């Protein structure tokens, strides 16, 4: 399989005091394959978002390297698009359409072409007829769809999604999970999806990486989810995966508390 992104012996430390550093990740080794959804899962504080920030180019490793399509990442790039957890990344003074076309305008895409691209992606995410609305007129789920549409319109090779559905109510979250799978089946992007929700990881992921409790976190275990899509959340096979992962997470949290 083609490797889309890779973490090679990555350690990242943040200065905590003059004498002490906080080591978020230590010797993290991870490969993400082309056209897969990889879910990175673990307890709070285990460094999931830090790993995503490294791949996005927002942070630099203290030691080791992070690669995207064979090249060392030295900063943010249009080949990697980030979908954040909150909806405050949308510009409140712009309509849904203008939010989506903003990045295209910055790239010099002609106005008419940008409008066509934006309308296509708004329709892809299920927002046909909503292009004229402003963020304040949209529900939380609709705002996340606009954010996803905006990222997709810029045609990144890899989508980086940092708990994008965490703030949504349970029913909307379930709907957005199913929508993401549908969109992924059309677009076939590489996806790194950060979550602490085991069911979400099992519904979405081709593989799930379970992280050790932080600090000094890395991958505890990686599991290939051998289930067809769309996935039934009540499938006994999915529940088997759930019980195994839940046991690992609970044991890891308990271990960290004893240290």
Report DSSP letters for 206-219, one per residue: SEEEEEPPSSSB-E
Peptide bond into 215 cis (omega under 30): yes
45: left (phi over 0), alpha (psi -120 to 50) or beta: left
Q: Whole-prediction pTM value?
A: 0.94
Structural domains in the chain? 3-79+157-258 (3.40.50.300), 92-155 (no CATH)
* 3-state SS assignment for residue 63: strand
pLDDT tens across the length of the chain (259 residues): 899 999 999 999 998 766 778 999 999 999 999 999 999 999 888 999 999 999 999 999 999 999 999 999 999 999 999 998 876 789 999 999 999 999 999 889 999 999 999 999 999 999 999 999 999 999 999 999 999 999 999 999 999 999 999 889 999 999 999 999 999 999 999 999 999 999 999 999 999 999 999 899 999 999 999 999 999 999 999 999 999 999 999 998 888 787 6
Q: How many whole angstroms separate alpha carbon 115 and alpha carbon 100?
A: 9
Q: How many whole angstroms separate alpha carbon 30 and alpha carbon 7?
A: 5
Q: What is the DSSP letter of 56?
A: H
Residue 109 tokens read as 């895409």
Residue 119 tokens read as 């309308």
Residue 190 tokens read as 């590489």
Scan for tokens 């402003």, then name that residue.
134
User: Which residues have C-beta within 8 Å of that of residue 152, sequence separation ≥ 6?
Assistant: 81, 121, 124, 125, 159, 183, 187, 189
Q: Look at the alpha carbons of 170, 87, 73, 10 in this order and tell me if their dihedral is positive or negative.
A: negative
Scan for tokens 């990889």, then name that residue.
38
Query: What is the DSSP code string of 183-241?
Result: HHHHH--EEEEEES-HHHHHHH-SEEEEEPPSSSB-EEEEEE----SSPPTT-HHHHHH
């Amino acid at each position: 399989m083609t490797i889309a992104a890779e973490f090679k012996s990555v350690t990242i430390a943040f200065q905590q005091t003059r004498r002490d550093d906080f080591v978020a990740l230590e010797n993290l080794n991870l490969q993400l394959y082309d056209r897969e959804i990889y879910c990175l899962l673990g307890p709070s504080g285990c460094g999931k978002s830090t790993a995503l920030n490294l791949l996005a180019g927002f942070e630099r490793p203290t030691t080791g390297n992070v690669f995207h399509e064979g090249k060392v990442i030295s900063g943010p790039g249009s080949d990697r698009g980030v979908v954040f957890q909150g909806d405050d990344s949308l510009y409140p003074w712009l309509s849904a359409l203008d939010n989506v076309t903003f990045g295209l305008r910055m790239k010099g895409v002609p106005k008419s072409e940008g409008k066509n691209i934006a309308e296509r992606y708004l329709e892809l995410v299920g927002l046909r007829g909503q292009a004229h609305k402003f963020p304040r007129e949209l529900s939380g789920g609709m705002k996340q769809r606009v954010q996803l549409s905006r990222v997709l319109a810029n045609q990144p090779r890899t989508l980086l999604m940092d708990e994008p559905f965490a703030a949504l109510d349970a029913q909307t979250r379930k709907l957005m999970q199913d929508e993401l799978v549908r969109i992924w089946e059309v677009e076939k992007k590489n996806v790194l999806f950060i979550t602490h929700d085991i069911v979400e990881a099992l519904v979405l992921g081709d593989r799930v990486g379970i992280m050790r409790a932080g600090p000094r976190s890395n991958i505890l275990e990686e599991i290939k989810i051998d289930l067809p899509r769309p996935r039934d959340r009540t499938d006994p096979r999915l529940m088997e995966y759930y019980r195994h992962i839940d046991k690992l997470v609970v044991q890891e949290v308990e271990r960290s508390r004893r240290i």
